[in-house]
Each structure stands twice: as structure tokens, then as C-alpha cells.
Structure 1
């Protein structure tokens, strides 16, 4: 099975209902064209508005089945305001069980995304796209590429697309968005 992991396009904030910016809407149209030759059989998205709007054009123009899944939503680092959130986030890539007040550790977030991926690997689908957020994307990629961490997360674009090919003997990961 091939799994396409898509990070949402540029948005005007981090809230669950944050909309795409003008540049984000334009990028979602380019993304729809980019994805149309990949024979994607199913799209599963984070319920956050920016993720849904990122893939909406592709789904509508290609008549691809679409589902929402809470396991793809962005990780909450803390329910409290953390002025040094950037440093705290970096720390969670090293200490994967580190948990801030009201937040989710890297291991907890990885567990939920892996549950979905394992379900998909057991399905009859040959090609599925999931639409998520940068932190969740990086944690998933870290499962196949242990070097993929905080520095690689910083280099992700909006949007971004990686292909994971769960082939016969080994898993192959490629960044395919240019």
C-alpha cells in the first residue's frame, strides 16, 4: 500500500477553525492537480478546517471517497499558554513521553496516528491519502525514518506531501512535493 501524507496549506492561525490564507487556497488548487495522477482511492483528513479545505478541491474534482478522523488532528502541546513553546516542542522530540499541562506527549500522538496507519495497512486499499498537520506528520515520518525530528519538522512546507510505500520487505519514504 502507498500512503500519501499531506500537510495542510498555509492557514491564518492554529485554531481548529482557522481558514486557509489566499496563498493557501491557491496552493490547494495546485495540490489538487498534483495529486490527480496518483490513483488515490480514499482521503482521510483531520477535522480541522485548514486540513479539510486543503483537500476539498481534489476530492470534489476526482470524486474520491472522503472521511474525517480525529486521530489526524494536530497535537496539543499544552492547554496553557507557553511563551517558550518552540523550545518546549523541540524538547518533546527528545523526551518523547514529556507531557505539559493538558497536552499530549510525542508518544501519545504517535500512538493514535499509528493506529490509523495500521488499520489502513490491513485494508484492501492500495493508495490512501491522509491530510494532517506538521507535528503529526513529522511524528509519523519518524516511525520509518528515525532521524526525522525537530529540525526536519522546521523544514516542512505548507502544503507538503510524502509518500510511504509499505512494500514487500521494507518501507520506503519519499518527499514528493516540490
Structure 2
């Protein structure tokens, strides 16, 4: 059987902090995702423990009758332990140089290894709910041309299908 993973970037949220909630639009998009995933044969749901990620996939978990499993390895990539005013510039640098990291932060290579440790442990059709930068790095590991501009164009939510059999990623929603 072809193993498909659905990579979901969380829906629109009120902020970036771990406790940020979904906006009204984000809540509606979360309900729409539940309809989208109804006939996909999903066997497992893994989510970042951040509130916006959990809230994005809760309606799907309820509709499918599946537990919502939280995994710390799916939290957003840490650019820096302190707030940055020019964080976009640092994200771009990290796409250009996978070893680039700020003091106390995570390089693209380290963040990519973290999420690949999740993916490499999966053996059944699974939804993975996480955050834009981390998911972009995962996609890049299968599709090396996926870069900073692609990350900038990711929606909230965004859904990508990763075929582990073909080792290819497809934008599906």
C-alpha cells in the first residue's frame, strides 16, 4: 500500500506564541479540513502541541474518531530564543545556508532532522500538523527546489501530500 502523509500547516491564528488561538477564519478552515480528510483513509493524527495546531485538526480528529497525538518534535523551528525584528531575513539566510543559526537557535539542518525523525517512524496514512518553516524544511528534504519564496507563499492552512513510496510532495489544498 502506498503510504501517504498529509502535511498540514495550521490555520490562521491570532499570533505566533504557543498559546495563540485560531481566528474566526481559522476556525472555519479547521471545520473544512474535517470534510476534506473524510475519505482519505487516515489512520493516525500527529500534531504540534501549540494551541493553533491542535485547534486546526481537532474537528478532523473528532470526525474521523481518531486520537489527536501531540509530538514535541513538531513545534516550530526556533530561529532564536529572543524576539527578532528582522526574523524574515534570518529565515531567508537559513534557506540559503542550511548550517546558518543564531545563538541559541536551530539551524535548518537541525530542524529538518527533527521532523524527519517523526516522518521516518511512520508506517500508515497520517496527518502531521505543524508550522510553516518546519514543514517547508521537510518538503525541501524531498523537493530540494522548495525554498524561501515557496515558504512565503504557503497558506494558513496549507495541505501537502507526501508520498513516501514515490518520495514526492504534492500541494493538495
SS in structure 2 at match of 1:119: coil
Q: Given that residues 76 and 130 in structure 2 are in contact (C-alpha distance below 8 angstroms), is that contact kept between their aligned partners in structure 1?
A: yes
Aligned length: 171
Q: Which runs of 5+ in 1 are unaligned?
A: none
Q: CA offsets per residue over residues 104-138 of structure 1, 9 Å max, x none?
A: 11011001101111111xx3x2x111000000110
What residue is the counterpart of 1:82 in the other structure? 84
Runs of 4+ in 1 over 2 A off after TM superposition: none
1:141 maps to 139
Q: Counterparts of 1:45-56 in structure 2 under 5 Å?
A: 45-56=47-58
Contact 1:41–1:65 (8 Å) recurs in 2 = no
Give the secondary structure class of the aligned counterpart of 2:54.
helix
**TM-score by structure 1 length?**
0.93
Give the superposition deviation at 1:55: 0.2
- Cα deviation for residue 81 of structure 1 reads 2.6
Q: Is the 8 A contact 2:5 2:162 kept in 1?
A: yes
Give the secondary structure class of the aligned counterpart of 2:73: helix
When the two structures are superposed, what TM-score results if normalisation uses the length of structure 2? 0.96
**Secondary structure at the counterpart of residue 44 of structure 1:** strand
The equivalent of 1:2 in structure 2 is: 4
Deviation at 1:93, TM superposition (A): 0.5
Cα distance in 1 for partners of 2:121, 2:20 equals 29
Q: Partner residue of 1:21? A: 23
Aligned to 1:171: 167
**RMSD, aligned CA:** 0.9
1:101 to partner: Cα distance: 2.1
CA contact (8 A) 1:9 1:24 kept: yes
Q: Post-superposition shift, 1:66?
A: 2.2
Any unmatched runs of 5+ in structure 2? none
Equivalent residues in 2 for 1:1-178, closer than 5 Å: 1-120=3-122, 123=123, 125=124, 127-167=125-165, 170-177=166-173
